[in-house]
Structures are given as C-alpha cells and as structure tokens.
Amino acid sequence: MFCSTRARKSISLVVLPAVLCLMQGAKAAAQYLPPRISIHVSNPLSLMSKAGVKLQYRLNENHSVVAGYRTYYGFFPGYQSSVEYHHYYRTWDRSEAFFYGKFLYGNSTYSPKPYFSGWDATYNDPGAYGALGAGLGKRYNFGPFFIEANVGLKYTQILEKKSGINTNLFYTLGPGSLVDCGLQLGLQFFSEGRHMYYKTLAPRRRSRFRD
C-alpha cells in the first residue's frame, strides 16, 4: 500500500523540479501581467477650450479599454463621453505604439459670448451628437508617469435636427471636428519595471512586434 523509499525518491526527483518551474513561471507571469490602471488628464495647453479625464484599464500587454469624460467651454459649451479600445502593437525601451478605435456621445450648445464682447447669446445648436473615430498613438512611460499622443480621424453625426447655425464651425474647430488629435498627461498605478519586464530578456532599445 505504501511506496518504497526508492519510489518516493524517484517521485520527489520528478515532482520537485516541476513545482519549482511552476513557481518560477507564476512569478514571471505576475511580473509580466500586473494590474494596469491609468488616469489621463488633459494637456494644460488645451484648457482654454476643454478639460477632461480618462480612466484606462490594461487587459494585458496588447489590449486596453478607456472610458473618458470631457467638458467643453468657449464656442461650444457642453460635455462629451467616450469609450475607446487600444491595441498596442509595438514597444521600444520606454514607449509603446498603438492604434485605437472610439465611440463618442456628447451634447453642445453654441455661445459666441466668450470671444465676441457684446454678443450675449446662447443657441441650442448643435445639440446631441454621436461620433466614431480611429487612429494611431504613442505612449511614453516615465516610471509612474506617462505622456500619450494620438492622431486620427472621426466621423460625427448630429442627432437632433435643429436650425443648423454654425454647424460648419462645429465640424471644423468644435467637438465634431474631422481631425482627432490629442496630447494627454497621466499617472499609472503599476511599476514600469514590472510592466516592461520582458525587456530584461532582450537588449535595450531593441524594438519588438507583438502578436
């Protein structure tokens, strides 16, 4: 019923290395796939017309989802909420390249008062709108901080049929602009050394494509 001493030793010689390998693999996985939560804030240079914040969750090294909220003032006071998907396809020493897709929903009014004195009026146009966008971006990591830039295109559709005042301006310089570009600063709640763990397995500054 009981294993012989020789059998127990043989089993130990097989099981012990396997357990050690599993422990090392679990340790590496913990370093390679840590929790990834980031907070994006608007570029200070854009505060003349808008301010916002985004919350990002990295599903793994390649995929992340982002939820955002932005407030506009100036010509087009209103709000805009967004949901984004980021796919990170290439990594360098301290930076990552990604492409993204996004869906946006918002509501804007038109108010020329902040820029033209004496014209004190607010219009309900353009009202509620939705948008789809896509583009490319790059993220630069500096320990717990990062800078992220993106450029792309988006299509915006006004959802409420109104008088149509200044819709051209809305589509060119307002929240519905065709060009989708941005620069954000942020704070990330994980160790960059752990996040970029795989780089210890390759020479520094060597680029790498990921599946």
| Residue spans of beta strands (DSSP E) within 76-175 | 78-91, 95-110, 123-142, 145-158
Please state the pTM of the whole predicted model. 0.70
Fold of 36-209: Porin (2.40.160)
Task: Please provide residue 57's backbone torsions phi and psi, each rounded to the nearest 5 degrees.
Answer: -125, 120
Contact 3, 15 (CB under 8 A): no
List the single range of 41-50, 79-88, 128-137 with lowest mean pLDDT.
Answer: 41-50
Split at pLDDT 50, 70, 90, the class of 49 is: confident
Phi-psi region of 50 (alpha: psi -120 to 50; beta: other; left: phi over 0): beta
Please provide the size of the chain in residues.
211
The whole-angstrom separation of Cα 127 and Cα 120 is: 19
Contact 102, 154 (CB under 8 A): yes
Measured in whole angstroms, the distance separating CA 101 from the mean position of its chain's CA atoms is 10
Give residue limits of the domains in the chain. 1-32, 36-209
Summarised one tens digit per residue, pLDDT across range 126-171 is 889 999 999 999 999 888 889 999 999 999 999 876 666 667 888 8
Give the chain's radius of gyration (CA, Å).
25
The whole-angstrom separation of Cα 142 and Cα 113 is: 41
Average pLDDT over residues 57-85: 92
DSSP percent split of the chain into helix, strand, coil, nearest 5: 20, 50, 30
